[in-house]
Amino acid sequence: MLLPNRRHERPLVLFVASTFAQKTEYVTKYNIPYYSDSLNQADEYLRQQCVLDLYYPKNVTHFPTIVWFHGGGLTGGHKEIPQALKEQGMAVVGVGYRLSPHIKAEHCIDDAAAAVAWVFNHIEQFGGDSTLIFVSGHSAGGYLTLMVGLDKNYLKKWDIDANRIAGLIPFSGHTITHFTIRAELGIPGTQPVVDSLAPLYWVRKDAPPLLLITGDRHMEMPGRYEENAYLMRMMKVVGHKNTQLYEMQGYGHNMTAPAFPLLLKDVRRIVKEKQAND
């Protein structure tokens, strides 16, 4: 049994796709722009980077959706749809976004919010349920997940209430200000900063359910587990009732493989709870 905020052995958690998922046909649509035509035409780099891939079950309705942000330090990486999230009876959205130094790293959050807003505004056209949109990602993608979900100002620009997100599940994300943003400001990587570009700055009681997952504190990037542990503590202090932290003992920063089952389990838990309350 996996317990929140406890170090544990390599988890032996197995998820077998349901009969429903096994018999379902899945479709992938590639390179869908999530900004307007006018913005795409005005900026070649934006047009190239700000696209998403949508993987979804065909001829199915009211399925949940996971929006997935790739890692890479806000300076690299490519949009992806993780294999472990396929054929699970849900949609997955792999998001591309602009990268530093082409833009200031903080504007990666603007792209992330625009992509999440696109999903809210369009997923029902493909059969999805806009009340079952989850946001997740690894490393830099975990940071973007937290910023979009905790700082409500980014989605507010698109007339979306961040509290509509069904769940936030960041993998090994910064909860202080991202190191690439600090580097752009001339702040050493060893100097932790908690300002308005830090998820910790935006702790709030009414945030969506939050599942924090990190690697082993002794194998992770320096301070990464402790940052997440502090965010968990402060979320509880402000009265948030649904924050959990898992530390994947024996795994370092690249802990996505054993963490994907935890993501799927949390999505299914929340979906079940929402359905029971409807």
Mean pLDDT for back-to-back runs of 10 residues, the chain (278 residues): 40 39 86 97 98 97 98 98 98 98 97 98 98 98 98 98 98 98 96 98 98 98 98 98 98 98 98 92
Domain carrying residue 57: 19-277
Is residue 50 assigned to a domain? yes
User: How many Å separate Cα 191 from the centre of its chain?
Assistant: 25
Could you tell me if residue 14 is inside a domain? no
Distance CA 39, CA 154 (A): 18
The predicted structure's pLDDT at residue 208: 98
Report the 10 Å Cβ neighbour count for 111: 24
Instruction: Supply the Cα-derived Rg of the chain in whole angstroms.
Output: 18
Residue 1 in domain: no
Q: What confidence score (pLDDT) does residue 8 get?
A: 38
Q: Is residue 46 part of a domain?
A: yes
Q: Is residue 124 part of a domain?
A: yes
Q: Looking at residue 268, what is its pLDDT?
A: 98
Which CATH number characterizes residue 203's domain?
3.40.50.1820
Assess if residue 243 is contained within a domain: yes
Question: Which pLDDT score is estimated for 23?
Answer: 85
Are 81 and 94 in contact by the 8 Å Cβ rule? The answer is yes
Domain-embedded: residue 10: no
Domain count, the chain: 1
Q: Give a yes or no: residue 47 inside a domain.
A: yes
Phi, psi values for residue 179, rounded to 5°: -65, -30
